[in-house]
Chain A
Amino acid sequence: MKTFDHVVKDELGIHARPAGILAKEAKNYQSKVTMKKGDKEVDLTRLMAVMALGVKQGEKVTVSVEGPDEDSACAALKKFFEEQV
């Protein structure tokens, strides 16, 4: 399993639209991708659950990737988070 931390930069946090693009992106990989805030962890492909985490600007999330393509998926997702949220 690979993980990375990310501090959310978007002013509105992970609101509807970024949650949407994250869910879409996460579906591109075979690996299971989860995102954790505090003690709550959700499947990144599940849009409503991601929105319900209510991640705000400046908050830290931990993304975990587990599966056959975890190395490449983790690297790509890390870049994606940095650019998008």
Chain B
Amino acid sequence: MEQFKGKIAFGGIAIGPVRTIGSSHQMVRRTRVEDVTQELKRFSDAKECAIEELKALYEKALPQVGEEHAAIFEVHQMMLDDADYCEAIEHMIASQQVNAEFAVATTGDNFAEMFASMDDDYMRARSADVKDISERVIRILCGVHESTDGDQHPAIILADDLAPSETIQLDRKSVLAFVTREGSVNSHTAILARMMNIPALVATPAGEVTDGTLAIVDGKQGLFITDPDGETREKYEKLLAAEQEQRKLLATLKGRESVTKSGRKIHLYANIGGVSDVAAVLENDAEGIGLFRSEFLYLQNNDYPTEEEQFSAYRRVLEMMAGKRVIIRTMDIGADKKIDYFNLDEEENPALGYRAIRICLDRQEIFRTQLRALYRASIYGRLAVMIPMIASRWEVVEVKRIMAEVRSELDAQEIPYGEIELGVMIETPAAVMIADELAQEVQFFSIGTNDLTQYTLAIDRQNNKLDRYYDAHHPAVLKMIKMVVDAAHEAGIWAGICGELGADTELTRTFVEMGVDELSVAPGMVLPIRKGILEAE
């Protein structure tokens, strides 16, 4: 048994024989041509032929991966037709009297090099696209027909790298997973794998593997295991069965309302960490977004994200959710989420320290920028905003004052904005005890059970010596949730749960009985929880 760790392009489990795909890279010899005009014509014919092939590929990809992702093959057509690229090739043929194959290979390498040296991961990955189109033209020039993937047994495909066009040409039914030794998670191949729902690993340092060797792809942990021992194999067969079960569940529960047997509607939302997660939200049929962690905008940047950057991310999510409720949590930086440019001091007790709203109320310019972006985005959908780490009523009062100031600022500049529903996260025992007072200030509560449990049980979750004392179902926490829900209903507002406990299927029934109005869970947990709701009274 051997095990290799790769980067995850798409999750999921696969077990099956390996099929290796050799590089389509062709050795090209430099030869001298006498008839330059003829050679130029050979190139232009091959280019036209390549464009025709790409048109056909686009048509093939369209029903499989959708317009947005199939578009790469349109872009490939345009790249082939690019004036700089073609002129470079033609110039080389004419001035050096070389064969078209050599001119295309050299020019392709030069352009690929140019993209490979860019400082942006996404653009760097484009060098694979340039190589892909160049290989296509060379293959046509060499008179080799495109290899098609005929009747093959389902297998795990192992290759150095797969060009997008190779990925799409593989017959979906014969592919259990992709593993590539090179490649990046930003490559179009990785994106296509995600759209085709095929487990995929890239940058996996696997050596030579004989075709037919039994292997496992664990897309959750990024592992590629060859020749698994009996125990490992058994473990993964169970996981695979569970995954298939989940898929079946998905099919039957999609499109259904989350209603209890007695007819009470529970809002079942999903948690996301960025714009790209929205696809999973829609895929799993969540009814809204219950927690959009806005930290990602700060974590992925080297400086404070601008109002414009934030606005465009929020707007995009609102537009994609098309009128469904989207709850964005204002930035929760600090504690375990440290960012260099915030210049935060080292702390003895970061979990009890300078974080979230405490930073926002101190460094108001950061908070105001975020609020402006949120207000401006609010006209594109149904936006709710919630404030993390609230412990006192005055904090909420101050937040509301700042929000009012931001609104007058926008009014003065005649910038339109819409209604924002305001809520607070209940994650400190203090907030639980004064929930009745907080309920006077806001329109909803969302209980963050991870922090609430940590603060209530006085257990640092990072310390694994404390595991035996950490009880996620501790009665103290469950009583607190009940108190919060009661206080909310007393004041006529709603209360939900967005922490990990919300996704605990053992507790769904309990939460429904407590009167919880909303549950927000990881996209993959939406349907299992819906099942629990449908079965509850």
Contacts and interface: CB of A to CB of B under 8 A. Distances in A.
Same complex for A and B? Answer yes
Interface of A: 7, 9-13, 15-17, 19-20, 23-24, 43, 45-49, 51-52, 54, 56-58
B312 A57 contact: yes
B163 to A, nearest CB: 14
Nearest to A19: B75
19 contacts: A11-B313, A12-B122, A13-B123, A15-B122, A16-B126, A16-B129, A17-B72, A19-B75, A20-B75, A20-B78, A23-B78, A23-B82, A45-B83, A48-B79, A48-B85, A52-B114, A52-B123, A54-B120, A57-B312
A51 B123 contact: yes
A11 B275 contact: yes
Nearest to A18: B75
A24 B84 CA distance: 15
A46 B72 contact: no
User: Contact residue range for chain B?
Assistant: 20 to 34
Given A11-B275, A20-B74, A54-B118, A48 B82 contact: yes
Contact of A16 (B72, B114, B308, B312): B72
B345 interface: no
State the 8 A-B residue pairs at the shortest beta-carbon distance, nearest first. A20-B75, A9-B312, A47-B82, A48-B82, A16-B75, A20-B78, A54-B118, A54-B123
A46 B306 contact: no
Contacts of B312: 9-11, 57
Contacts of B114: 52
Contact of A58 (B120, B126, B308): B308
A49 B115 CA distance: 10
Contacts of B130: 48
A47 B312 CA distance: 25
A61 to B, nearest CB: 14
A9 B310 CA distance: 10
Contacts of A54: 118-120, 123
Interface in B290-311: 306, 308-309
